[in-house]
Chain A
């Protein structure tokens, strides 16, 4: 039996209107809004938002994010979103995505999202290392971190980033150094101490390890799962802030870090890279806030 309700939009005959000319037709389902949500995605909360929808099934949903809060404020992009490039979404790029299960909607900003500044290091005179045996030879053709059972023993490494554009005394919420692992011997955990180089403008390395260290330090370890081609990322926030708060710091100066072995022993157990890669990174966030999001959850279900 052919019956139902149609409502046409102004100017269209309800008897002949196409679906697009109808404002409503009982023949079709419509998207029915269950709830709407908005808020902030923060670095400190794992870059993830979890929204309980209470529906007991997987609902249809859409998410938008203000992915450029500084450059394009109040401009919201549909998720999934990725910045630039040919590929719609690539994990190493800045991206925002979302998914649903029977309980929650999850919204995630990638680990690369929101870093305001970035500087790379690894060209000539950006890297240096020293080993403790044989009189402590110090060289600048690369950087080594860890312990060498073959005779060189404890390594001290240095990495320099030039330039670093951060205004004097403009402390950051978080800074992170990424050590590009050009090579690795064995896969035991490597224990380190990380310091900043306590200089206004770190000059190119001959031997880095004689440089003064910041009072701030960290004691991170290099997990055994990280291998050649991976990046070991470690927090250097307090070192970074101590350096940019020096009286002689100015934006555009160079900044350096030292990485010492911290009790790693046993068999050959170290990571290294030779100069030329320029793949070591220094990044920083000004605030915990990454971006604002808006989420609409529909009553309609993903019916699988």
Chain B
């Protein structure tokens, strides 16, 4: 097979000599492709789990950020916050994505997630 493909570089670089890090696109290298971006909201106290189908025939990659009580301060998941007063874990299994949430008192937790078209594993 011949040496062909597509390379795109940013302003100031020569596409013939640019390194991979100087390229904005290279068809020989995969990119993370966002298939879906959305959020879930859950208001309650104690433990709760929000589960929904991801709709893929394989297990896709997933990344999420979350906030507490509508604060607008979005933390990277997964984590416990303030000595375990709040927590959010996200995970993929079979055909579903689940967020396992906890708050000691009633509070709204929002998880903004992106599901990747690329398989997680």
Contact = CB atoms under 8 A, between A and B. Distances in A.
Nearest to B61: A20
Nearest to B31: A30
B117 A20 contact: yes
Interface of A: 7-11, 19-20, 22-25, 27-31, 58, 60-63, 79-80, 87-92, 97-102, 106, 300, 302-304
A8 B33 CA distance: 13
B76 A63 contact: yes
What secondary structure prevails in chain B residues at the interface with A? strand
Interface of B: 1, 5-6, 25-35, 37, 39, 63, 65, 67, 72-84, 89, 110, 112, 114, 117-119
Which of B39, B73, B77 is packed against the most chain A CB atoms within 10 Å?
Answer: B73
A19 B61 CA distance: 12
Nearest to B89: A88
Contacts of B118: 19-20
B78 to A, nearest CB: 5
B89 A9 contact: no
Contacts of A23: 6, 25-31
A28 B75 contact: no
Nearest to B118: A20
Given A22-B33, A28-B35, A9 B28 contact: yes
B76 A91 contact: no
A25 B117 contact: yes
Contacts of A97: 75-76, 79
B75 A8 contact: no
